[in-house]
Amino acid sequence: MPLLHGEEIAVYEDHWHSAWKRGIAPNKAWDQNGPAALLAEFLKSTNIKLDGCVAFVPGCGRGWDAIELARHGCSVTGLDLVPEAVEEAQRTTSSVSQGGLKGGVEFHAGDFFKYRLDDSWVDVGYDCTFLCALQPHQFKDWAAAWAKAIKPGGHLITLQFPLDTCEDGTKCPPWPMSKQLYADLLTPHGFKNVHQTDTRKGCFTDRPGIAKKGHGGLEALACWQKS
């Protein structure tokens, strides 16, 4: 018997809690032990005004990407479902020279779909391998939540992964993504694609945990502006 949505979510949440309690070693599984290369490249070249903007990073893990946004002047909130992940992110921040951050960063444990339900509080959102980790029936809710959080004229940066097929759907997440899927989800909410990189092999390409699930590790980065 297939799981009902509520049961699916409970199993999903337990999966992430168990993974962090077992321990995720740096540079193993989905941890990159540093900011995503595509994000770092984009932030160096973008004309988005980052200094002083409010940024939001759900599914932040150890916090590397949130810290990278703070390095460019953003005031960043990183969110993760699992308290152990938040503790790791706080340790990561402590290990980074605060003098190297133009902005600030803080981390909280919580559910993306229930966190700060007020409208239009985010200038820049960043989604890194977060959508692919949700359950498919949550995808439209993901887009609606971002549309609610991001200010008119604000931006959502999506690191799109994995941009290929999964040989065995029973081994997901991560669920297979596509550039068209992101467009189909975000365009109805007034988001326009203003930047899109080519697809390339990412740092997850040779990770055993990813390879066993049939993914080739293909990724791309897109930036969307909300009307």
User: Which H or E run contains 169?
Assistant: none
Beta strand 75-80 pairing with 150-160: unpaired
Cα(217)–Cα(207) distance, rounded to whole angstroms? 9
For 98, residues 6+ apart whose C-beta sits below 8 A from its C-beta are none
β-partners of residue 76 are: 55, 105
Tally of residues, the chain:
227
Return the higher-pLDDT residue of 57 and 29. Answer: 57
Token pair recorded at residue 148: 């609610």
Does residue 129 surpass a pLDDT of 70? yes
Does residue 10 surpass a pLDDT of 70? no
pLDDT for 28 equals 54
Cβ proximity of 111 and 86 under 8 Å: no
pLDDT for 161 equals 84
Domain ranges of the chain: 33-226
pLDDT for 214 equals 41
Q: Where are the alpha helices (DSSP H) in 23-95?
A: 37-45, 64-71, 83-95
pLDDT average, residue stretch 120-135: 92
150-183 confidence digits (pLDDT tens): 999 999 999 998 887 665 555 667 788 899 999 9
Return the higher-pLDDT residue of 204 and 118. Answer: 118
pLDDT for 171 equals 60
CATH class of 33-226: alpha beta
Cα(205)–Cα(216) distance, rounded to whole angstroms? 6
Does residue 57 surpass a pLDDT of 80? yes
Q: Is 125 exposed, middle or buried (0-12, 13-18, 19+ CB in 10 A)?
A: buried
pLDDT for 208 equals 45
Q: What are the CA-CA distances from residue 181 to residues 62, 93, 174, 217 (Å)?
A: 27, 33, 14, 17
Whole-prediction pTM: 0.84
Crossing angle (nearest 10°) for helices 83-95 and 5-22: 40
The highest-confidence range among 5-9, 56-60, 80-84, 165-169, by mean pLDDT, is 56-60
pLDDT band at 207 (very low <50, low <70, confident <90, very high): very low
Q: What percent of the chain has pLDDT over 70?
A: 73
pLDDT band at 195 (very low <50, low <70, confident <90, very high): very high
pLDDT for 167 equals 56
Coil/strand/helix, residue 72: coil
